[in-house]
Structures are given as C-alpha cells and as structure tokens.
Structure 1
Amino acid sequence: MDRLLSNIKIAVPEKIYVKDPESSDLGKRIVQHSIIIIDDMGFESFTFKKLGHQIDSNESSIYRYFESKHKLLLYLTSWYWSWIEYQLVIETHALNHLEKLCKAIEIVTRSVKEDSNFSHINEVVLNRIIINENSKSFLTKEVDKENQEGYFAVYKRIIHRLRDMITHVNPDYPFPSSLASTIIEASLHQHFLKDHFISITDCGGKSTPTDFLMDLVLKTIKS
C-alpha cells in the first residue's frame, strides 16, 4: 500500500500553471519555498522577487511556471484540496453511508499531519496557509471567469462528495450542498479562531473543530 501511495500524483487543473512544477527540481523548489515564505510573511507580503532570492534563482524563471502570485496561490490551494480528496477516497472506501460521512468529516476538519509521500511539500505548513489564505484564492473580481475555467474544480469536488454522503444518510435533508460547504468553511474558520480569537470559540483544548462539526452535522441531518 505504501508503495502504491508513493506513486500517486496529486492532480491540479492544468490552466492554473504555465509549466507543471512537478516536472522539474526547480518547479518543486518553487512550490516548497513558496509555502515556507507565505506561511512566514503572509500572502500580501509575498513576491516572486523574494521567492527567487530564497531559491537562488531569477524572478523570471518563476514566471515560466506561474504567471502571477495569485495563480501560485490557486495552485497551492488546489493541491491541498486534491490531497484531501485522495484521503477521502482511500479512507472512506468500503464503509457504510453513516461511517463514510463521519470519516469524511474527520478528514476535512482534523489537524493535519505531514505526509511522507510528498517530500517537497510540508502539508502541516500548507494547512496553515489554507486556514489563513484560502478565501483569497476566490474572493476576487475574476472569480466567475476563473470558475468557468475550472480553477476551483477540486475544491468543488470535495464539497460534492460531502453533499452526496449527506444525501445518502438522509435523502430528505433539503440543504445538502449548503451543509457540505459549511463543513469546509466552518472548519477553516474554527481552526483560525482557536489560534487567534479563543474567546469566541469552544474549539481548543478538549474540544476540536472536528468535535463541533461532527455534532452539528449529525444532529442537523437526523432532526
């Protein structure tokens, strides 16, 4: 199984990048160090010039892979959600409908551990970026055009998977898509709150975002 997983390639929509960063050592270093720099200084302060200095490469070489830092952020968020999706597929296999939904909620809301199958990407650090910066990938004036281009296909597939699991557990529940998208966004929000605004969340310490959302979802669809 470990050998099989090590051969899995996380797929990102091709239109997001100019050249696939997985195709070269430089591309992988661009991704690896962009994660470190964005985590350290935030997306607003991140530039290709700073990234080029970090990897000892010309700024122009980065543009051969990504036409803008926005496209790089789209790549990172798409990679993350594709990585989450592959966990959903593997870990929910052969479970009954309720078990599958509970496991899926756990996967998309739990604290992230580093995955040794992808050595150039630190998933723990990338998760922090997703918590802090994910909404910046789509809260733009170009969101409708980029959506039509398929840039958010992986993110939407995750929500559709959750939607279908909810419907399988309770076919009469009237808001499966809304609940599925709420699971994703509420998880990111609660992880942010427990790290920065602890007085307005019950998550942290004994309770986790997974505990909260598991309770919320199961009580909602069974009511």
Structure 2
Amino acid sequence: MKNLLSVLKISVPDKTYIKNPETSELGRRIVGNSILLINEIGFESFTFKKLGKKINSNESSVYRYFENKHKLLLYLSSWYWAWVEYQLVIETFSISNANEKLEKAITVVTRTVKEDGNFTHINEIILFNIIVNENSKSFLTKEVDTENKEGYFEIYKRLITRISNIILEVKEEYPYSLSLASTVIEGALHQHYLKEHFPSITNSKNDKSPTSFFIQLVKNSLK
C-alpha cells in the first residue's frame, strides 16, 4: 500500500494554471510557500509580490505559473479535494459492507487532517486550515457559473458524487443523496471553522473533530 501511495499523483484541472507547478522546483516552491503565506496573512492580504519576496524570486516568475491569486486559490482548493478523493478511494475500496463503507467515507471527509509524507512540498495540515478559512472564496464570485462550466470545480463535484453513491449503496431509494453528501462536506468545513473561531457554538472542541456528529446525522437521515 505504501508503494502504491508513493507513485500516486494529484491531478488538478489544467485551466487553474498557466504552467503546471509540479513540473519544476520553482513551481513546487511557489505552491508550498503560497500555502504558508496565505495561512500567515490571509487571502485578502496575499499578493504575488509578497510571495515572490518570500521565495526570493521576481513577482513575474509567479505569473508564469498562475494568472492571478484567484486561480492560485482554485488550484490549491482543487489539489486539496483531489487529495481527499484519493484517500477516500484508497480507504474504502476494500470495504464490502455498505454501512461500514459509508462511515469510513464520512470519516475521511470530516476528520482533522494529518500531514501526508507522500507530498513533501505541500503541508496538508496548513492547506487544510486554508480550505477551512478560505475555500468559499474560490466560488463565491461573479464568475462562478462560467468557471463551473469550464470545469474548475470538477474534482469537488466528483467527490460529492462519490459520497452520494456510497449513500445510495446503503439506501438506494433515498431521494436526497447529493444534498446530504454536499451537506456533510461543507458542514464539516463549517464545524472546523466554528471550532477554531466560535467554539462556544459548536460541540466540536479542542481535538474533537465533527466526524461523530456527521456519522450520526447521516445514519439518522437514512433510517
């Protein structure tokens, strides 16, 4: 299994970048350090000029890879959801019991992230923090419908469809599988956000992830 994971590559929609950052050392430094900088100062304050200074390179070198910081955020978001998807596939493929498979799937998409040594240029823990705090900014834009048609969100939507299909394995006639799947994924981000910023209005506190809540929510919905 470890050998399999070591050769897996995360595929991100090519429209998010001008030049694939995975193809060069500079590109990987841009991605890795953009994660660190966005986490440090927030997406609003983040600029390519500041990123260039952080990596000791010209601002123009960043523009050779990404058109603007919105496209970079789309890249990071797509990378994260693709990474979650590959974990989902790996951790559920051998589970034959539908209920156990669904519980594992919910666990994968709601748990607190741990660092994955298979991708050394990306700190998945910090990227997770960015997704919790900044992910909605990738699609709460005037261009969302156009970008959706062009395939920018295909990985995110594919992940939701995978969860929906697993739900239907448990209860084939359930009429709201997509709504429930998207609620779990978005709801988990929201609960992690509340845990960090508004702990008084969530039961997910300290090291307790919202996983158990969503497992209970889904099981009760499918009764």
- For 2:5 and 2:169, the matched residues in 1 are separated by 28
Q: Does 1:92 align with 2:92?
A: yes
- For 2:206 and 2:12, the matched residues in 1 are separated by 35
Deviates more, 1:146-155 or 1:200-209: 200-209
- For 1:206 and 1:134, the matched residues in 2 are separated by 22
C-alpha contact 2:39 2:130 (8 A) present in aligned 1:
yes
Where does structure 2 lack aligned partners over 5 or more consecutive residues?
none
Q: Which residue of 2 aligns with 1:8?
A: 8
Runs (4+) of structure 1 moved beyond 6 Å? Answer: none
- Number of residue equivalences: 222
Q: Partner amino acid for 2:22? A: E
Q: How does 1:1-40 map to 2 (within 5 A)?
A: 1-40=1-40
Where does structure 1 lack aligned partners over 5 or more consecutive residues?
none
- For 2:22 and 2:206, the matched residues in 1 are separated by 38
State the TM-score, normalizing by the size of structure 2. 0.97
Deviates more, 1:31-40 or 1:197-206: 197-206
Sequence identity percentage: 63
- For 2:79 and 2:207, the matched residues in 1 are separated by 30
- For 2:119 and 2:203, the matched residues in 1 are separated by 33
C-alpha contact 2:195 2:206 (8 A) present in aligned 1:
no
Q: Partner amino acid for 1:139? A: L
Q: Which residue of 1 aligns with 2:193?
A: 192
- For 1:32 and 1:80, the matched residues in 2 are separated by 13
State the TM-score, normalizing by the size of structure 1. 0.97
Q: CA deviation at 1:98?
A: 1.1
Q: Deviations 1:60-119 (Å, cap 9, x if unpaired)? A: 111110000000000000000000000011000121211111100000000000000000
Q: CA deviation at 1:4?
A: 2.2
- For 2:206 and 2:20, the matched residues in 1 are separated by 41
SS of 2:222's equivalent?
A: helix
